[in-house]
Structure 1
Amino acid sequence: MSETSSARPGDGDLRTTALLQLTAAIETATTLDELLMLGLNEFTHLLEISDGGVILLDEAGTTAGLVSTIPLRTSLPPAFLITETTFLWRVVANREAMQVDDVALAMGAADAAAATRQILPLLNAEQIRSLLFLPLVAQDRVIGVLVFGNRTVPRQFDEHEVAQARLMAGQFAAAITSFRIAEEALRRTAELATLNEIANTVTSSLNSREIYHLVMEKINTYFCVDAGSLLMLDEESNDLVFVMTLEAGEEKLFGVRVPYGHGIVWSVASSQHYAVVNDAQADPRFFREVSDALGYTVQTILCVPMVVKGRTIGVIELLNKLEGPFTEEEANRLTRMAATIGIALENARLFQTVTTVRDRFEAILNSTNDGILMVDMRGIIMTANPRAAQLLDRHRNQLINHTLDQVLHDLRSRAVSVSLSSRLPHEATSEGLEFELPALQGRFLRHYMLPVRETNGTEIGQLALFQDISQERALDQLREDYVGMLVHDLRAPLTAIINGILMVQRGLGGPTTEQQQELLSIAHEGSQTMLAMINTLLDISRMEQGHMNLNREPLSPYAVIDQALDRLRVSAQSQNIQLKQDFRAGLPLIEADREKLVRILQNLLDNAIKFSPSGGEVILGAGVMPTASREDQGILPLDVRMPDLETGEHLIFWVRDQGPGIAAQYHARIFDKFGQAHHGQRMRGSGLGLTFCKLAVEAHGGQIWLHSSEGHGSTFALALPVSA
């Protein structure tokens, strides 16, 4: 290697002529490729050689590629790292021209880089004996290297030739930079135009298939590829799903799934980094099942992820570039585009989700039988369903943007009566009101409020519900009439039947046999049971209407317990059930209705005996909850929790059995009228006993509750305030 210097006559004219010819080439070139060919032609004429080439660096200055040659070659070697070639790295690093006088001697040396030695056979095949490297410097930056070769015999370029070539190289580098800037501007313009068309379609169309088609159509055209696919991540199955594949304008592969971890697409989705594969068949990641099913041969692949807010939502995969291999620059360009496309597609998906949810919400609102008003935190009505307008006898325009207070005030002014409602869901945030509106064919409306909360629990508004309870009121009246019929129309004849049976038993109608006495006893017991049921219905009806008078008196809990146990000892013995007691000492007197309290305990014990297996036991316990303590203190069995009670001293009763238990789904309605739990066997009783217990306990100002699980028995407990 060496650099020599000498002077030749006419250097000025020769230099001027060469510069003018290069300037003319620059001025007439319309593309970068044309500029490179014309420029190389002028350099080879100046240096009187036949071979030359242009190597350009990437933006980072680390990777180089041979982009143009003279003579013209259709196949060019792949890009390489500049640090892997000793000579090129020195030229770039030092920004100086460098000669290789004898290629075979220099590149075959033992200390030559491996990549350098690999080039030697190619140079020998072309009979290149000497090389000249010139740096291309523009805007204080090396953008590439000019390489010139002399064939057949070694040649040493003199100082004049190198100086002249370097002068021209500076102008050539400036022209290349200008063309690259212009081409990059054109590419960016085309890129922005493509993205703009995609964005316009995304914002103007609600058809996702149409959006996907346009995205791939524009990208395939922009990158000049044979086929392209758009795959979206299915977060439920964790598959990548082909939502659009375009090959020559034809849609394919819709709905085909790529399982997690398979293929280049999943490699890109997982790493969130693009992949350039210019020999797909040799890549171990290649998932050939899809292409084989179509009979399509994949040669080159460019795949980039679509990442939105750090989360991969899909990938774009381009196949078989029409001219040459995919480049890193194209990968970076598609990555930029994918980021914008991903945001647009995600926004479109979110918009469609919101639209779908809105449509479903409106469908639910329009189909429900309840009138619903959506009210914001200021009390302004934001939404009203058609049923609300119908029930309130107002047009929707007369409801929306008005205050709820105005609507309720108007409803009150038209109502014949307004009363409080006791039948409300536990989520209700206000007292329920019931309106009677006789002007609307005797319609009754129930109104209450429910909260509307965000996912974090913050309240953002309320739902005002209006229910037509006219049919419910009619059924209530029917039930009251039915109870009245039972009480007043059946009680008198049933009493007469009982009295008649007693008189026959006592012999007023003549002597009776032992067998007749037994039949009369059965009839008397059945009549008493029926009379007790009628009395219970009457008591329940009175308590529901608030008409039940309690005959309160100071009572000893022990006396009440003994009386209840005495009534059921025979029944327990007949079923081989053992009655046990678990009382605390020093239970205080309680102000209560003796008969009602005895009947409460009697009903609870009777149920426990009915559902306990033969040989089992039923426990009746009692204790007192002091005013100063809010903890159980061992009054109840260990697995039964004490509810929140009002302030004051409470007397606690509880009954525990060893029956089949009550499933959780029946706990809410076990105290309702005729409400019974299903145990896979014939129903026992009328379903009124527990209803009476609940109403009677609440009439005393107390609480009753249940603890039970299927297969582990049941515990009914009640708490009564010691001082009424």
Structure 2
Amino acid sequence: MTLPVTSLHNHEFLHTIPSFDVNAPEVISALHKVALNVSMLFPGTGCIIMLLHPSARFLLTYTSEQIIQHPFIYAGSRLDQVLQSHQPVIIEDVADQDKLAREIPGFHGRSLLLLPLLNTDICIGALVIMGYEPQVFDDQAVRIGRAFADQAALSLMSVQQASSVQHWILEDQRYLRTILQASSDGIALVGDQRHFIEANPAFGRMFALQPAEMENCSCADIFGCNGDVKPACCLKGCMIEHALRHEQSLEYAEVDITIQGTPRVLGLSVTPVALKDAPVCLVIARDMTAVRDATRSKAKFLSMIAHELRSPLNAINGYLELLLTGVGGELTDEQHDFARRARAGSENLYALLEDLLLISRADAGQMRLHRELVLLPAIIDNAVEELELTAADNEITMQLDIADHLPRLYADSVRLQQVLRNLINNALHFTPAGGEVTISASLIKSDHRSSASLNDDDEPQQMIQLQVRDTGCGIAPEFHQRIFERFFQAPNERVSRAGGQGLGLSIVKMIIELHEGTVTVSSVPGQGSTFTCLLPCLSN
């Protein structure tokens, strides 16, 4: 009985059949061992191993002489019958050797035991035991043959899988090597003894060395830690040693170093990697010199423009102040209101210039605080006075809730006023007419630790809590962190007049953290927002 010709192609098992690599030495050795064991189990016989290709169009046939690939003639063939039924086929006396040789290349015997090679019910091919004379294969011979065929299939699959895994590993290594060679970022591995194990060409170019020259060099020699002037990242100890000891990645840092007498800026990422033999550090470096130079040039330009604009603004503010004090004569109520509004607009423009100047100084690494002993209530009053006209124009009520006898702060009063101005201005932008903005200050005890504190047993310290609360549209939770990023503005369809440059809150965060404080936001959409700043204060 002949099975349908198309049935083999309909079997899903074809997708799970491996494509045997007959050029792999391991596969050839396994095939040879199978053939050798057959000759020992069945003396006076030959062996042919046929492996099915996943396409079902080809057979790989192994004999003691060679491995050949040939078309699979499955229509009505004995092999087709074995592959589909998973049952052996026995021919005790072959009547037509030529026909059988066409089905089974290399066959030249007079009797045949054709056994399926099964691996977990998947037939990957067939084992041909070929008798050179007519021969009877009894039940015992068939049982032995089937058991051996199952073991042979398992062995071949194991060898092929191991060969495939090895091939994938080699391919992955080749791809990784190609990526490392082509990467424009410097990539290197540093061992636990702080010596370079390997570096890609880009890493070598940054230090004017060939990658091979860097191997076994200490990181201290490469980064110049042994010189008179150490990189800032290593002033408190070797960053690579720190990453390995604590098994944690270090924050990205830009490091000023000198390479062959030329100052450079490198952006470094250091990540410990746990290997089987010993831990290593993955160091990724990027030359940021051009970026830093461009940033400083931009900051210098912004600073120059801001300074040029400050002079006429100072003159405008000064003359408006003289006008309001009556130096030029008495003003009518309407004229006085006009002058106050002009001064408020001029002060807002001046505040924007201060924001731009602060950003430019921070980018240029020139941000400094001018600290002195200050009282927060006076700073709050000045900030509120600047923006009370804006609040009145938008029909928003401003409330103050300042605790009595607040301790002094050792802080930069100009910068703290900038913080308050930005927070209040932000609240006014997002609060509708009829709403309320409340500025409060109180003394609390907090577990906040300054960056200089190394003692985990320190008692909670006194902090001044400064809050700006509004009854505006609120902020969605997913934007609570992002609103402190530069130029980011949370989308809000309820407010049409928000405007702004997206700098105010990022400047607030920068100034508060320079004072070793923290700023957080709590907000529910539709219910307003509360910005809370914690600032360390002096004991009374």
User: What TM-score range do you get, normalising by the shorter chain?
Assistant: 0.5 to 0.7
CA distance in 1, matches of 2:56, 2:432: 63
CA distance in 2, matches of 1:556, 1:495: 25
The residue type equivalent to 1:354 in the other structure is I
The residue type equivalent to 1:482 in the other structure is F
CA distance in 2, matches of 1:579, 1:683: 18
The residue type equivalent to 1:705 in the other structure is T
CA distance in 1, matches of 2:368, 2:335: 42
| 2:24 match: secondary structure | helix
| 1:465 match: secondary structure | strand
Confirm or deny that 1:653 pairs with 2:466.
yes
Confirm or deny that 1:302 pairs with 2:116.
yes
Q: 1:359 Cα deviation (Å)? A: 2.8
Across the aligned residues of Structure 1 and Structure 2, the Cα RMSD in angstroms comes to 5.4
Matched with 1:48 is none
Matched with 1:318 is 125
| 2:180 match: secondary structure | helix
Matched with 1:202 is 24
The residue type equivalent to 2:481 in the other structure is H
Matched with 2:99 is none
Matched with 1:453 is 273
Confirm or deny that 1:491 pairs with 2:342.
no
Confirm or deny that 1:626 pairs with 2:433.
no
**Do 1:212 and 1:230's aligned partners in 2 also have CA atoms closer than 8 Å?**
no
Matched with 2:59 is 246
Q: Specify whether residues 537 and 420 from structure 1 end up closer, same or farther in structure 2 by C-alpha distance, changes over 3 A only.
A: farther
Q: Specify whether residues 461 and 430 from structure 1 end up closer, same or farther in structure 2 by C-alpha distance, changes over 3 A only.
A: farther
Q: Specify whether residues 331 and 460 from structure 1 end up closer, same or farther in structure 2 by C-alpha distance, changes over 3 A only.
A: farther
CA distance in 1, matches of 2:151, 2:423: 75
Query: Residue by residue, what CA displacement relative to the aligned partner does 1:384-440 show, whole Å, maximum 9, x if unpaired?
Result: 01111111001122101222223223x875x99854599x99942797631144845
CA distance in 2, matches of 1:598, 1:434: 33
- Which of 336, 352, 360 is the matching residue for 2:167? 352
**Do 1:371 and 1:385's aligned partners in 2 also have CA atoms closer than 8 Å?**
yes
Confirm or deny that 1:528 pairs with 2:342.
no
Matched with 1:342 is 157
Q: 1:485 Cα deviation (Å)? A: 0.9
Query: Residue by residue, what CA displacement relative to the aligned partner does 1:627-668 show, whole Å, maximum 9, x if unpaired?
Result: 6x679xxxxxxxxxxxx9996222223334543525747835
Matched with 1:375 is 190
Matched with 1:547 is 368
Matched with 2:299 is 480
| 1:649 match: secondary structure | strand
CA distance in 2, matches of 1:621, 1:509: 38
Q: 1:333 Cα deviation (Å)? A: 1.5
Confirm or deny that 1:229 pairs with 2:52.
yes
Equivalent residues in 2 for 1:567-586, closer than 5 Å? 567-577=386-396
Matched with 2:92 is none
| 1:626 match: secondary structure | strand
Equivalent residues in 2 for 1:375-454, closer than 5 Å? 375-409=190-224, 418-419=231-232, 427-428=249-250, 433-437=255-259, 439-440=261-262, 443-446=263-266, 448=268, 450-454=270-274
**Do 2:465 and 2:535's aligned partners in 1 also have CA atoms closer than 8 Å?**
yes
**Do 2:199 and 2:211's aligned partners in 1 also have CA atoms closer than 8 Å?**
yes
Identical pairs, percent: 21
CA distance in 2, matches of 1:675, 1:488: 26
Matched with 2:102 is none
**Do 2:429 and 2:497's aligned partners in 1 also have CA atoms closer than 8 Å?**
no
**Do 1:671 and 1:690's aligned partners in 2 also have CA atoms closer than 8 Å?**
yes
Matched with 2:6 is none
| 2:212 match: secondary structure | helix
Q: Specify whether residues 373 and 320 from structure 1 end up closer, same or farther in structure 2 by C-alpha distance, changes over 3 A only.
A: closer
Q: TM-score, normalised by structure 2?
A: 0.63
Q: Specify whether residues 584 and 498 from structure 1 end up closer, same or farther in structure 2 by C-alpha distance, changes over 3 A only.
A: closer
Larger radius of gyration: 1
**Do 1:381 and 1:402's aligned partners in 2 also have CA atoms closer than 8 Å?**
yes
Matched with 2:13 is none
Q: Unaligned 5+ residue runs, structure 2?
A: 1-19, 38-44, 62-68, 74-81, 90-113, 131-136, 450-456
Query: Residue by residue, what CA displacement relative to the aligned partner does 1:500-525 show, whole Å, maximum 9, x if unpaired?
Result: 66778899999999999888766554
The residue type equivalent to 1:378 in the other structure is Q
| 2:538 match: secondary structure | coil
Q: Specify whether residues 682 and 506 from structure 1 end up closer, same or farther in structure 2 by C-alpha distance, changes over 3 A only.
A: closer
Q: Unaligned 5+ residue runs, structure 1?
A: 1-197, 232-241, 254-263, 269-274, 280-299, 307-313, 632-643
| 1:655 match: secondary structure | strand
Query: Residue by residue, what CA displacement relative to the aligned partner does 1:459-485 show, whole Å, maximum 9, x if unpaired?
Result: 821123333122122123213312331
Matched with 1:115 is none
Matched with 2:146 is 331
Matched with 2:178 is 363
Q: Specify whether residues 692 and 364 from structure 1 end up closer, same or farther in structure 2 by C-alpha distance, changes over 3 A only.
A: same
Q: 1:372 Cα deviation (Å)? A: 2.1
CA distance in 1, matches of 2:34, 2:530: 68
**Do 2:383 and 2:421's aligned partners in 1 also have CA atoms closer than 8 Å?**
yes
CA distance in 2, matches of 1:250, 1:673: 67
Q: 1:606 Cα deviation (Å)? A: 1.8
The residue type equivalent to 2:52 in the other structure is S
CA distance in 1, matches of 2:401, 2:87: 83
Matched with 1:16 is none
**Do 1:216 and 1:246's aligned partners in 2 also have CA atoms closer than 8 Å?**
no
Greater length-normalized contact order (CA 8 Å, ≥ 6 residues apart): 2
The residue type equivalent to 1:652 in the other structure is Q
Q: Specify whether residues 488 and 589 from structure 1 end up closer, same or farther in structure 2 by C-alpha distance, changes over 3 A only.
A: closer
Higher deviation after alignment, 538-547 or 390-399 = 538-547
**Do 1:228 and 1:317's aligned partners in 2 also have CA atoms closer than 8 Å?**
yes
Query: Residue by residue, what CA displacement relative to the aligned partner does 1:31-56 show, whole Å, maximum 9, x if unpaired?
Result: xxxxxxxxxxxxxxxxxxxxxxxxxx
Q: Specify whether residues 618 and 512 from structure 1 end up closer, same or farther in structure 2 by C-alpha distance, changes over 3 A only.
A: closer
**Do 2:51 and 2:125's aligned partners in 1 also have CA atoms closer than 8 Å?**
yes
| 1:659 match: secondary structure | coil
Q: Specify whether residues 526 and 652 from structure 1 end up closer, same or farther in structure 2 by C-alpha distance, changes over 3 A only.
A: closer
Q: 1:707 Cα deviation (Å)? A: 5.0
| 1:704 match: secondary structure | strand
Matched with 2:499 is 684
Query: Residue by residue, what CA displacement relative to the aligned partner does 1:353-397 show, whole Å, maximum 9, x if unpaired?
Result: 322332333333233332222112222211101111111001122
CA distance in 2, matches of 1:439, 1:454: 36
| 1:684 match: secondary structure | coil
The residue type equivalent to 2:255 in the other structure is L
Q: Specify whether residues 651 and 607 from structure 1 end up closer, same or farther in structure 2 by C-alpha distance, changes over 3 A only.
A: same
Q: 1:700 Cα deviation (Å)? A: 2.1
Higher deviation after alignment, 351-360 or 653-662 = 653-662
CA distance in 2, matches of 1:222, 1:613: 95
